[in-house]
Amino acid sequence: MSFFYAFLGFAVLIVLHELGHFFAAKAVGMRVERFSLFFPPLIAKVRRGETEYAVGALPLGGYVKITGMNPAEDIPPEVLHRAYYKQPVWKRVVVIAAGPLVNVLVAFLLLLVFFMAQGPAVGVSSTVEAITKDSPAVGVLQPGDRLVAVDGVRGDSERLRAQIATHECAGKQVEGCIAATPAVLQVERDGRLQTLEISPRYAADTDPTTPGDQGRPLVGFAFEPRYEAEGLLEASSSSVEGMWTVTTTTVDRITALVYDAEARKEVSGIVGSYETSRQVIKTSSFETVISIFALISLSLAIINLFPFLPLDGGHIFWAVAEKVRGRAISIRVMERASVVGFMLVLALFAIGLTNDIGRLQGEGFGLR
């Protein structure tokens, strides 16, 4: 079912994006010829009034076809006044910007729900969230166990970790050595207290990001984060802050693709985004799923606003350029620009797809 729900989530985000264009175009009087979920060949269509509603066979996006999007298009005289390029610049900008703005609004609302329902992590609990593969805890501890005490010592997660770390190896502490004495863990499992013994294993580098880290004996588990739900105003602030952080980071990373090979390795495409979403749906809470789709919706908006045709940002850029110039931009100039933009989008797609295939064949997408 995770495959279906991930597909449904992406489809909803696409529909909402295109509905932004659709309703804005209708509101300013433009003629909408087709509203399509996914790209041709069309597998189903129905006409209501002047608009055809369709579903395509290629699930790579969607589109709204507005009369006169191409200045060279042959348009019947009776609808010429409603064509896209016959409209004032402000109307064109409103229609094109409506799609990404809907995605931004959706992202904000989803994050608002997330922060009000679950909230940000404010620490860790004493409950085991995950067991590290091939660690001493495998087969002894279970996700959901609540760690009550270690060697009779009680306290918060840091105090319990510190007590585990007192179980050192005999002699020199080296990578992989086993503690001389086992740690005695008292855990609550299914409402009952149990006493378990585990011999910690020394890890020479427990945090590669921290210079000078000396390592410590580890059992091999992670505590569940502790969340704190927020009120409406606080959640709104957190949502805006989170969206701004994601936006600046995304722009920085996409810009870095030009000169940074490592940044290119981090790019994920449609396959990766879909697979990551599917795994989150399968393994995570409803609140976490909401937050992931909020970030995907925001990413759709950010990428679409880059000033390259055929992206929405490209249409906005040339509309504004026309306003600044004081007269229409040559169709030949726009066609050449669209070729460059299309090649850039295609290159980004190819990089993301290549990385996704590599991850699928290798260690996956890093979710636990």
Domains of the chain with CATH codes:
92-118+234-361 (no CATH), 121-227 (2.30.42.10)
104 and 243 Cβ atoms separated by less than 8 Å: yes
The reported pLDDT for the residue numbered 178 is 92
The reported pLDDT for the residue numbered 211 is 43
The answer to whether the pTM exceeds 0.85 is no
Q: Which residue has the tokens 């008292």?
A: 186
For each of the chain's 368 residues, which pLDDT tens digit applies? 667 777 778 888 888 999 999 999 999 999 999 999 888 889 999 999 899 999 998 877 788 999 988 777 788 888 889 999 889 999 999 999 999 999 999 999 999 999 999 888 888 888 998 898 889 999 899 988 999 999 999 988 889 989 999 999 988 888 889 999 999 999 999 989 999 999 999 988 655 444 444 688 999 999 988 888 999 999 999 999 999 988 888 788 777 766 666 666 666 655 556 566 666 666 667 888 888 889 889 988 988 898 888 889 988 998 999 889 888 887 788 778 778 777 777 776 666 656 555 554 444 444 44
The reported pLDDT for the residue numbered 364 is 44
The reported pLDDT for the residue numbered 195 is 93
The reported pLDDT for the residue numbered 325 is 87
The reported pLDDT for the residue numbered 303 is 85
The reported pLDDT for the residue numbered 210 is 41
CA distance 190 to 53: 53
The reported pLDDT for the residue numbered 254 is 74
